[in-house]
Amino acid sequence: MDEDMEKLINPQVTIATIKKHGFDFQKKFGQNFLIDRHVLEKIIDAAEITKEDCVLEVGPGIGTLTQSLAECAKKVLAVEIDEQLIPILKETLSAYDNVEIIHADILKMDLQAMVDKYHQGNPIKVVANLPYYITTPIIMELFERKIPLDSITVMVQKEVAQRMQVGPGTKDYGALSLAVQYYAKPYLVANVPPNCFIPRPSVASAVIRLTRYSEPPVQVRNETLMFQIIRASFNQRRKTLVNGIGNAAELPYTKADVAQALKRLGISESVRGEAFNLEDFARLSDALESDESRDRPEESVE
């Protein structure tokens, strides 16, 4: 425990570090620093970090989680967007020679080049206390770029964690649920109350682990099209799939096309998106893309 007294996970050390550097929390970056040792341990345990691992941490803040990651991993890549945090990180992480502090916007980085440079293209693990305002774009960027990735263990808003793991027919089920579950198996690690952070966020948080599938759980001919269909299906939750997809400007299908595809699949035209699972959306996507659904008289295209 004496060792912990010197680390950032000790709230007194965190407060002293913030005051020493005159750090001002930036609301635009959604900065909330973890100060609970038990939650930190749960994150590290859930991520299953070993001395063979290269870990990407998005938004290290002042380095609280980074210190623990550095003690477990072979290499830690700490990507921080806030310039005023870089000198603080250089100080708080000075004892660790396996940490690379990178001042950058994670959404604008060449992630594959980074993995190639620091881990020879081998799968990395992502561990982070993510800024809540940009959680979904970061997670989807990591998945959609198809960089070598073993798992993502992150602190997110509790409501977002719930959306990631639920199935059809629930109020939280939607496009995010389907996207995450196409790429990874979600597992809720722990719920985290606001008093575990400085400053306290206005919402409850949760730690979730997303273990990347080596192959998606469903096969679909056109992944991009399937996700366009999914987004259109949930843009207006109370609409039927026929109306949601048929009204979507980015999709070339009429309501009649969608109705015809559903009929061939033996599904009612009145079905809504929240009743469809991932396999259902893959089947509908394939049906709509097939020659049969696209081969219609020219005059029927409005």
Predicted confidence pLDDT, tens digits, the chain (302 residues): 345 546 877 878 888 888 888 887 766 666 788 989 999 999 999 999 999 999 999 999 999 999 999 999 999 999 999 999 999 999 999 999 999 999 999 999 999 999 999 999 999 999 999 888 889 999 999 999 999 999 999 999 999 999 999 999 899 999 999 999 999 999 999 999 999 998 888 899 999 999 999 999 999 999 999 999 999 999 887 889 999 999 999 999 999 999 999 999 999 999 999 999 999 999 999 999 984 445 554 433 33
The 3 state secondary structure assigned to the chain is: CCCHHHCCCCHHHHHHHHHHCCCCCCHHHCCCEECCHHHHHHHHHHHCCCCCCEEEEECCCCCHHHHHHHHHCCEEEEEECCHHHHHHHHHHCCCCCCEEEEECCHHHCCHHHHHHHHHCCCCEEEEEECCHHHHHHHHHHHHHCCCCEEEEEEEEEHHHHHHHHCCCCCCCCCHHHHHHHHHEEEEEEEEECHHHEECCCCCCEEEEEEEECCCCCCCCCCHHHHHHHHHHHHHCCCCEHHHHHHCCCCCCCCHHHHHHHHHHCCCCCCCEHHHCCHHHHHHHHHHHHCHHHHCCCHHHCC
Per-residue pLDDT tens for 48-88?
999 999 999 999 999 999 999 999 999 999 999 999 999 99
pTM of structure:
0.89
**Domain positions in the chain:** 4-212, 223-300
Contact 78, 100 (CB under 8 A): yes
User: What pLDDT is attached to residue 10?
Assistant: 81
User: What pLDDT is attached to residue 23?
Assistant: 80
Homologous superfamily of the 223-300 domain (CATH): rRNA adenine dimethylase, C-terminal domain (1.10.8.100)
User: What pLDDT is attached to residue 33?
Assistant: 85
CATH of domain 4-212: 3.40.50.150
Radius of gyration of the chain (CA): 22
User: What pLDDT is attached to residue 18?
Assistant: 84
User: What pLDDT is attached to residue 27?
Assistant: 66
